[in-house]
């Protein structure tokens, strides 16, 4: 199963934001254990870096710490390219948020099974099924033991 995580789910996990942290962490663990293929878009990586820098206010080497976070994510998640065609197609997706429309367009092109976001109401026009982290958790299958 291939899932595309919205940026808010990633930031919830990185910043341990309650009440969303627990479900997001469970999804991260499912990605790490290869129960599912977790995806982020190349476009999201820059935004996650920005939020990661804000996570370390006043710390020395803020950029280096944020890059370490990004490096970890790059090792864990499949990174989907955001193409010009995704930006073009997103113009025709009338959901009120162009960034979310790009995410939808990329998910469609990459044949993602689900978009996971804390804000499903922002993706009502998506042809890719959209679930909150809590709605997605029951779909995780326990990993078979050998």
> What are the 10-residue block averages of pLDDT along the chain, 146 residues in total?
97 93 97 96 91 75 87 96 95 91 96 97 94 96 56
Domain assignment of residue 99, given as a range = 2-139
* CATH code for position 109: 3.40.50.1010
Q: Is residue 96 one of the residues assigned to a domain? A: yes
Q: What is the pLDDT of residues 89-107, one digit of tens each?
A: 999 998 889 999 999 999 9
Q: Residue 20 has what DSSP assignment?
A: T
**Predicted local distance difference test score (pLDDT) of residue 50:** 87
Rg over alpha carbons for the chain, rounded to the nearest Å, is 15
Give CA–CA dist 72/18, Å, rounded. 22
**Predicted local distance difference test score (pLDDT) of residue 51:** 86
Q: Is residue 21 one of the residues assigned to a domain? A: yes
Task: Check: CB of residue 122 under 8 Å from CB of residue 9.
Answer: no
Task: Check: CB of residue 43 under 8 Å from CB of residue 5.
Answer: no
Closest residue by Cα to residue 111 from 143, 78, 135, 141: 78
Q: Is residue 144 one of the residues assigned to a domain? A: no
**Predicted local distance difference test score (pLDDT) of residue 146:** 45
Q: Is residue 146 one of the residues assigned to a domain? A: no
Q: Is residue 99 one of the residues assigned to a domain? A: yes
Structure tokens at 36: 């599912």
Structure tokens at 4: 């595309």
The tally of domains found in the chain comes to 1
> What is the pTM (predicted TM-score) of this model?
0.90
Q: Is residue 145 one of the residues assigned to a domain? A: no
Task: Check: CB of residue 103 under 8 Å from CB of residue 112.
Answer: no
Q: Is residue 95 one of the residues assigned to a domain? A: yes
């Amino acid at each position: 199963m291939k899932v595309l995580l919205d940026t808010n789910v990633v930031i919830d996990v990185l910043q341990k934001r309650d009440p969303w942290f627990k479900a997001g962490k469970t999804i991260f663990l499912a990605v790490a254990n290869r129960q599912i293929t977790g995806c982020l878009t190349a476009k999201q990586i820059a935004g996650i870096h920005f939020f990661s820098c804000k996570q370390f206010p006043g710390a020395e080497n803020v950029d280096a710490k944020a890059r370490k976070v990004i490096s970890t994510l790059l090792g864990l998640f499949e990174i989907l390219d955001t193409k010009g065609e995704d930006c073009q197609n997103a113009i025709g997706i009338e959901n009120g948020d162009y960034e979310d429309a790009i995410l939808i367009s990329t998910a469609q092109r990459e044949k993602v099974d689900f978009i996971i976001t804390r804000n499903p109401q922002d993706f009502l026009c998506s042809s890719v099924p959209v679930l909150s982290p809590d709605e997605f958790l029951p779909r995780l299958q326990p990993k078979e033991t050998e």
